[in-house]
Chain A
């Protein structure tokens, strides 16, 4: 089955700096890669996703890149703000399969 590894497990940045979180996956058949943000006491919230026919996708301060050959994808947050502090999860699945496999999570702390 699919295995997703995520790094780093914790990340501390100054407000205004950029943050990058990286994930690798094992199943070359995976072609859907969402990212979730989880705040304390809440459920994961989808913030951006990318499909394998696209190499990069942006949404305001958030961008995701995908390298299918190397089987890795990354989340980039620019101009970080204190409200970006949360745990971020990457995931992978075959679209038709529905079964999301999650990475272990990254705790992002943005220091004002």
Chain B
């Protein structure tokens, strides 16, 4: 298996623009998590899905952030409009019923 796939790996955008981050989970994993990593706040859970349904989005910082999982093979995290403080590395992680979470390589987002 190729592992968790994220795209793009790097994204540079201007403040106010819409940003869409993408994740393809490991086949057969029915939980998907979106995390954000910054120097100041460390690794934070933003939202997670089970069987494509959002279960807990209490970590989503504000209404500018939204996440979807239209099918078992794809999820998106969207920021609209983006702000410089959204600059971070965003990770997608997935797991099966064995509880271990497997992380993707991340998307480094820079908002200027």
Contacts and interface: CB of A to CB of B under 8 A. Distances in A.
Contact of A43 (B31, B45, B104): B104
Q: How large is the interface on B (under 10, 10 to 19, 20 to 34, 35 or more residues)?
A: 20 to 34
Interface in B28-45: 31, 33, 42-45
Interface string A30-65: 001010100001111110010000000000000000
A42 B91 CA distance: 10
Given A32-B99, A43-B105, A46-B101, A99 B45 contact: yes
B100 A100 contact: no
B43 A102 contact: yes
A62 to B, nearest CB: 15
Q: For this complex, into which size category does the number of interface residues on chain A fall?
A: 20 to 34
Interface string B74-112: 000000000000000001010100011111111000000
A72 B111 CA distance: 38
B91 A43 contact: yes
Interface of B: 4, 31, 33, 42-45, 48, 50, 55-56, 91, 93, 95, 99-106
Contacts of B106: 42-43
A100 to B, nearest CB: 7
Contacts of A43: 4, 91, 93, 103-106
A98 interface: yes
Interface of A: 32, 34, 36, 41-46, 49, 89, 95, 98-105
A95 B95 CA distance: 12
Given A43-B103, A43-B105, A99 B48 contact: yes
Kindly list the 3 A-B residue pairs having the minimum CB-CB distance in the complex, ordered from nearest. Answer: A43-B103, A102-B43, A44-B103
Nearest to B89: A43
A34 B103 CA distance: 13
Most A C-beta atoms less than 10 A away, residue of B4, B48, B50, B103: B103
